[in-house]
């Protein structure tokens, strides 16, 4: 068969030739579809979910001088938004219920962002461990750091606080400005408390004094990070001391060492030799914990001083002979709601999508703890200091989570609340005070803190109860 056209007749191709060309076209189409589907699977052609809202220009950089930065972002862009922090894309997530859902659905794509102590401690810090090490060591520390260890040392813990606060009152009575003494006083209280509870040695013990001196070398005024040569040297001293204490507990029971976190550890952690990961984490829990607890005690003093009516109620309960401890605990829990607990950080190690937004690998997630505690849908008049919220100790974990959420929640939460409650009781039972200096809050190494100018003038309770909340001329 031929067809007519310009240039004369042209013969049709044979049927077999047409069949072969059709098969080649099908194979080409199949190859193209395979390439397309592969590209779609890998995401190069697929339209990806958007990043959360929020600008990424210079104005998006979080500024530590503005404690309402994240709160305004939440109000403007919603509970999930992006910003730049430390040169990294960071995604803020507001609300504990939402954050728990995020951790449940994408926990494998997140890793804790905390201080790196792997050069000191095998397997690193408990907060940064992953399976199976995290489950193994957390179960041991759950036994060791239970809050009831405080019961055995209640009188000694109170004596430590009373002794240091009395020294502060005496020194200020002799003319030393309280501003110079407050932070070191609270630092000694918290360090001695944690050493006592960790190792079971009394402050007059020679080994206790050596531990205290080594910690003061490691961080003269608080936790030092990044860790340098002085911290390496001090850590080596502490590791040697703690290993000796553990060995003596294992071999001789060390009759002079009372109940402690170290003594409560399973025998397998101490035999045939002390687990260096256990020792290292205990040392850093004390070193980092003394800083955190000292900061909390400063906030407690600040909020009590700013709210004379609360102090009056504490004194009334003291004089009535009942209810002081419960109300003191409520004051601690309300302080934790309003300050000290600022945020939880997680590294995004692989891409995922949550609530329609893309969380890219390499970014950072910040759970907005401080802001979630001030959410009006969770607490009525959220910016007001009202300890009555916590007179009943039960609380909704979707509204209140000062010690974190998920498997890396602070393991010493109960201990922190009990120690802080004890501090309030010692203060109310033995002292009156008034504010002699104050100023704006500032961002410390890890938390917002009361002004370094904030100071109180303590007086023994033998004197008449003094009003609080009024700053005196310096």
pLDDT in tens, 398-418: 999 999 998 889 999 999 999
Position of tokens 């060390």?
254
- pLDDT tens for 408-449 read 899 999 999 999 999 999 999 999 999 999 999 998 888 899
Q: How many residues does the chain have?
A: 474
Task: Identify the band that residue 7 occupies on the pLDDT scale cut at 50, 70 and 90.
Answer: very low
Task: Identify the band that residue 342 occupies on the pLDDT scale cut at 50, 70 and 90.
Answer: confident
Give dist(CA 146, CA 158) in Å, integer. 19
Give dist(CA 428, CA 310) in Å, integer. 11
Whether residue 306 is predicted with pLDDT greater than 70 in this model: the reply is yes
> Do 35 and 335 touch, CB atoms closer than 8 A?
no
Angle in degrees, CA 277, 282, 286, rounded to 5: 150
Beta bridge partners of 366: 92, 345
Give dist(CA 353, CA 41) in Å, integer. 15
Give the pLDDT score at 269.
62
CATH class of 58-460: mainly alpha
Q: Please state the domain extents for the chain.
A: 58-460
Task: Identify the band that residue 56 occupies on the pLDDT scale cut at 50, 70 and 90.
Answer: confident
Position of tokens 């210079």?
58
- pLDDT tens for 97-137 read 999 999 999 999 999 898 999 999 999 999 999 889 999 99
Give dist(CA 145, CA 142) in Å, integer. 6
Token pair recorded at residue 124? 């690193």
Task: Identify the band that residue 470 occupies on the pLDDT scale cut at 50, 70 and 90.
Answer: very low
How many Cα neighbours within 13 Å face the side chain of 282? 34
Give the pLDDT score at 331.
98
Token pair recorded at residue 115? 């201080």
Mean pLDDT of 232-250: 92
Mean pLDDT of 375-389: 96
Mean pLDDT of 190-202: 96
Give dist(CA 259, CA 239) in Å, integer. 20
Task: Identify the band that residue 3 occupies on the pLDDT scale cut at 50, 70 and 90.
Answer: very low
- Neighbour count for residue 98 (Cβ, 10 Å): 18
Angle in degrees, CA 225, 227, 231, rounded to 5: 120
Higher-pLDDT residue of 257, 329: 329
Nearest alpha-carbon partner for 451 in 224, 168, 182, 223: 182
Nearest alpha-carbon partner for 170 in 457, 469, 413: 457
- pLDDT tens for 208-223 read 999 999 999 999 988 9
Give the pLDDT score at 231.
96
Task: Identify the band that residue 30 occupies on the pLDDT scale cut at 50, 70 and 90.
Answer: low
């Amino acid at each position: 068969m031929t067809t007519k056209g310009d240039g004369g007749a042209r013969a049709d191709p044979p049927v077999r030739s047409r069949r072969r060309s059709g098969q080649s076209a099908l194979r080409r189409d199949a190859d193209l579809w395979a390439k397309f589907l592969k590209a779609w699977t890998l995401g190069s052609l697929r339209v990806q979910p958007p990043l959360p809202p929020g600008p990424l220009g210079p104005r998006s950089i979080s500024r530590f001088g503005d404690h309402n930065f994240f709160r305004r972002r939440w109000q403007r862009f919603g509970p999930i938004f992006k910003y730049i922090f430390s040169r990294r894309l960071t995604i803020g997530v507001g609300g504990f219920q939402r954050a728990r859902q995020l951790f449940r659905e994408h926990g494998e794509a997140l890793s804790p962002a905390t201080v790196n102590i792997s050069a000191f401690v095998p397997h690193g810090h408990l907060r940064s461990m992953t399976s199976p090490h995290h489950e193994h060591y957390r179960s041991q520390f759950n036994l060791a750091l239970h809050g009831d260890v405080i019961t055995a040392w209640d009188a000694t813990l109170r004596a430590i606080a009373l002794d240091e606060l009395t020294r502060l009152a005496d020194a200020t009575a002799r003319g030393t400005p309280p501003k110079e003494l407050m932070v070191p006083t609270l630092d000694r209280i918290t360090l001695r408390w944690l050493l006592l509870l960790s190792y079971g040695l009394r402050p007059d013990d020679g080994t206790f004094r050596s531990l205290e001196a080594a910690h003061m070398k490691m961080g003269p005024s608080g936790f030092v990070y990044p860790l340098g040569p002085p911290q390496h040297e001090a850590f080596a001293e502490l590791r040697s001391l703690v290993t000796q204490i553990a060995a003596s507990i294992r071999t001789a029971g060390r009759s002079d060492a009372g109940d402690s976190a170290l003594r409560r550890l399973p025998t397998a952690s101490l035999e045939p030799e002390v687990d260096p990961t256990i020792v290292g984490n205990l040392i850093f829990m004390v070193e980092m914990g003394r800083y955190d607890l000292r900061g909390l005690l400063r906030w407690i003093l600040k909020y009590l001083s700013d709210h004379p009516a609360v102090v009056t109620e504490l004194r009334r309960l003291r004089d009535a002979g009942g209810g002081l401890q419960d109300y003191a605990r409520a004051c601690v829990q309300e302080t934790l709601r309003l300050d000290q607990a600022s945020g939880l950080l997680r590294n995004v190690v692989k891409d995922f999508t949550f609530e329609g937004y893309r969380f890219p690998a390499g970014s950072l997630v910040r759970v907005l703890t401080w802001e979630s505690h001030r959410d009006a849908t969770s607490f009525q008049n959220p910016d007001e200091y009202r300890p009555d919220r916590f007179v009943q100790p039960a609380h909704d974990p979707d509204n209140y989570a000062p010690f974190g959420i998920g498997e890396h929640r602070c393991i010493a939460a109960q201990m922190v609340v009990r120690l802080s409650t004890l501090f309030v009781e010692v203060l109310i039972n033995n002292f009156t005070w008034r504010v002699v200096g104050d100023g704006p809050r500032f961002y410390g190494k890890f938390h917002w803190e009361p002004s370094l100018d904030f100071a109180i003038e303590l007086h023994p309770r033998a004197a008449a109860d003094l009003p609080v909340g009024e700053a005196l001329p310096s």
